[in-house]
Each structure stands twice: as structure tokens, then as C-alpha cells.
Chain A
């Protein structure tokens, strides 16, 4: 699949935003490390909303006919993309209400309810985004429960890192937030490792024989029938060299996981290292997203001899 920058930015940015918001509200509701100051909650919450909003707006850039985007809420019953849109919009009143209560210093049940609603909607939206990809049968590399799980975990990993970095900056970086980062980092690395191992053989898939219905002989493309590129070759014909695929995985692990881990273990409570870890992880996740697209092979490629 052709890696599209607007979709890469959308998934990384809003993934981090939803993860950040969910962990922030979770920390507040469960009073992790004695809880956060209301000022910190509002500050971090606004960062999360900016990330979510920037991501969602960027996903609009990818539409060829954005004037009809409002219609995308209409197929909630069948379409994961529609569900994602509905839940992402439903997330806003809860998140804004929750931040308003924190801003006003209201504690107790109303804030807890708004907080839990925020967490639930952030989680559901993340799951829906993952399912948009996982529901596509013609793309074997995506048609697996590992995809929504990885998207969920990676969003929380980058969210946890951002939360920690901002808290360290504000002098509130209690150890529990560092442990949260390390837990999500371990989960993220584990899920990606499983995914990459699985992707070497993503199930029994279609071949050029099942695609053409010629099951008893070798089939080889003679001519694609068009002289220059088509929508199909442009969208699905992207070819990634094998050595680049390996390089990509190494990059994801080194920049996305090993470097942030090193920085955090060396000097967790220093603003610069915490921020550095967050930036490195974000770069790692952008690379991860790019290869997520680049390595996905749509079955229509079979008809093109690819």
C-alpha cells in the first residue's frame, strides 16, 4: 500500500492524543502517585486534545471529496470508519467536560463520571481505528487482531511517554508514571515483535492461481493491459525492497523502543532526557506507521504480477 503522509500523521498523532487523554484521566480517577494537580490535568489534557484534533483534521486531507465528509457518520451499523468518526466526535464533550471540571476544581462523582466516559470513548475510538485496517480481507498483513491491539498499545505507549515528560517538566513526575511508561514500552515492543514474526507468514492467502482460477498450471503475467500507471498500480503497487523492510523493523525497535528506554533508565527525572525519549519514540512510531503501509500487500497486486 502506498504510505500516505496524512494518514500516517493522523494515526500517530490522534493515537498518541487518545492514549494520553485516557492515561491522564485514569491517573486522576485512580489517584496514581497521589494524583495530579488540577493545573497539570488541564495542561496535559489540552495537549492531548490538540494531538487528537490535529490528527482528525489531517485525516480529512486524505479525502478526495471532503465536502461530503459529514455523511461519514451515517453508516454506524456497518462501517468501522463511520464508527470511528461517531466515537471520536462523542469523545469531545466528555473530554472537554472533564477538563472543565478539573479547571473549576470540582472533585467527586461528576468528575469521575466524565473521566471514565473520556477513557471509555478514547479506548473505543482507538479500537475502531485499528479495526478499519483489520477488517480488510484483501490485505492479509492487516487482517489480524494484532493490528487493533498494536494500535491501542502504541497509542498508550506514546501517550504515557508524553504524560511523563510533561509531568517531569512540571516537577510532578512521580515514579508510578515512569513505571507506566516502561510497562507500555514492554507491551508495545512485545506486540510489535509478535506482529513482525507473524507477518513472515500471514496465513494462507490468495495466489495468482486462485486469483485467475487456473489451479493446475503456473500462471505468469504477460501484459497488464495499460501503458501507464492506473489508480490501482498507484494505490497498491508500492514495492518495498526486502532489505528496506528489515531496516525498517530495526529502526522501529532502536529508535522507538531502545533509545527511549536508555534515556529513561539513565536519567528519568531530567526534563531533557524525558523529552528526548518522547521525541525518539514518536519518530519510531512514524517509521512504524510508514512500514505498516509499505509492507501491506493488497491481493489486487496478484493480477498485476506483483
Chain B
């Protein structure tokens, strides 16, 4: 199995609901929680997040678009973050490909965060250990939950259903089919990490004329008289 996320850049509206739901769930999770906050009500609030959404502009006016890009651990097939870890705290589960950090083993050397191109790992200053997305490993296998809720918190929270979760190893899974149909891609393939998470591109749409030529003066006078008469 290669469990991972598929994120639809066409429908993501950049609301940060997934990141907030992630923070909420994982803060009380026993796998990597809590996700410490520094000065939450102070001048410069900051803290540990597993999922961050950044916003970009692509193209040139008048055909430019906004791109909202949520990013969390890609659970890479060639996860160098695991290779460089000297303590064995970072590991990739053979059964489902989830990359996890054993909080009891990590010595907080930061090396794995240097090895991750996607900025998925953040050091928790309070615990002194590295933290990252667990793919909600404590939800997706929880038999106490109804089947439809055995998904990562971010996927359940997304109001536009821009996030999908599934097995990208199985060619017949919903996620694999969607990736095929919509030409899904992984980020920075040239680094060779083989990220499992895939992104669906923004759909091609016809450009909408953004502005029309200014009306002729005579047209303007006509409209004005029409308006006066109509009153």
C-alpha cells in the first residue's frame, strides 16, 4: 500500500480549514501531539503545524489566476528524511508507506528537516523533537469510527472536497483513477523523492474578457437620455 493524499488545486479555495482541523486533531493525538504554540496570544504568534497553505498568482493579467497550495508530508517513496536520521526515530512503515517519527527516539538534530524538500517537518521547541503529518494514522485504522470517518482530519474538513485520501498503489482505487484522469503530478520530481501525494492541476478554461472598450460618447448620451425618459 501507498497511502497518501490527492489534492485538487482546481477546487481548493485556500480557506485553511484542513490545516486547522489537522492542528485540532493532532494536538490531542498521542502519536505526535501536542503541537506546541509559541506566544499564541502575544505579539508574534507562531507554532507547529503539519499542513500549511500558501497562495500564489500564476500567469499574467488579465489571464492570471490564484493558486492555493496546501502542503504536508508527501510520504515519499524515497524518503531521504528517513535515510539521514541517525537515531532511527524517523521511519517509513513498510505496510502502508506512512512516514512517522518516534517521539521517544528523536534527539532534535534537525537533519531530517534539512533533507525534506517540501518543508513538511517542523521542530517542536517545547518537546525538542521533530514533528510532521502522520496521515492521521490514529484515525484511519480506528475501528471505533464509522467507515466514512476513517480518513485524515484534513480530508473530512475540506468544504470543497479538494482533498482525497486513498491507496495510490492500487490502480483501481478512486485516488489512482482521479490522478490518471486529471493528470495528477507530484512536486519537484527532479529531486527524486517520489512523493506519494499528488496534485491535480487547475482546469483549463477559456479566458474571460476582463474589460471591454470604453463606450463611444454618442452611445453614452443615448443611454443617458433613455434613462431620463424611463423615469
Contacts and interface: CB of A to CB of B under 8 A. Distances in A.
Contact of B48 (A82, A138, A225, A231): A231
A214 B67 contact: yes
A67 to B, nearest CB: 8
Interface stretch (B53-61, B149-157, B165-173): B53-61
Given A219-B56, A299-B188, A212 B113 contact: no
Contact of B52 (A74, A204, A226, A235): A226
A227 interface: yes
A233 B16 CA distance: 19
A69 B106 CA distance: 8
B72 interface: no
Interface stretch (B122-130, B135-143, B221-229): B122-130
B199 A136 contact: no
A40 B106 CA distance: 42
Contacts of B67: 212, 214, 219
Contact of A63 (B44, B107, B116): B107
B106 A68 contact: yes
Contacts of B45: 227-228
Nearest to A72: B86
Contacts of A300: 116-119
Interface in A226-278: 226-232, 235-236
Contact of A68 (B48, B71, B107): B107
A78 interface: yes
Contact of B128 (A64, A132, A231): A64
B158 to A, nearest CB: 16
Contact of B185 (A71, A213, A303): A213
B66 A138 contact: no
A215 to B, nearest CB: 9
Contact of B59 (A67, A69, A217, A225): A217
Query: What class of interface size applies to chain A in its complex with B?
Result: 35 or more
Contact of A212 (B46, B56, B116): B56
B85 interface: yes
Interface stretch (B25-33, B189-197, B212-220): B189-197
A80 B125 CA distance: 25
B109 A62 contact: yes
A65 B114 contact: no
Contacts of A213: 185-187, 199, 201
Interface in B49-96: 49, 52-60, 66-67, 69, 71, 80, 82-89
A135 interface: yes
Given A71-B89, A231-B122, A232-B119, A222 B111 contact: no
B180 interface: no
A273 B139 CA distance: 68
B115 interface: yes
Interface in B34-52: 44-46, 48-49, 52
25 contacts: A1-B114, A63-B109, A63-B128, A64-B107, A65-B108, A65-B127, A67-B107, A68-B104, A75-B85, A75-B88, A79-B85, A135-B84, A136-B115, A137-B80, A137-B191, A139-B114, A213-B187, A214-B201, A217-B58, A223-B54, A230-B122, A231-B123, A235-B123, A298-B114, A299-B191
Given A66-B108, A72-B109, A206-B117, 12 more contacts: A64-B109, A64-B128, A78-B83, A80-B84, A81-B84, A135-B84, A214-B67, A221-B57, A222-B56, A229-B46, A236-B119, A299-B117
Interface of B: 16, 44-46, 48-49, 52-60, 66-67, 69, 71, 80, 82-89, 104-111, 113-119, 122-123, 125, 127-129, 185-193, 199, 201
10 closest cross-chain pairs (CB), A and B:
A64-B108, A65-B128, A64-B128, A82-B86, A65-B108, A68-B107, A300-B119, A72-B86, A71-B87, A138-B117
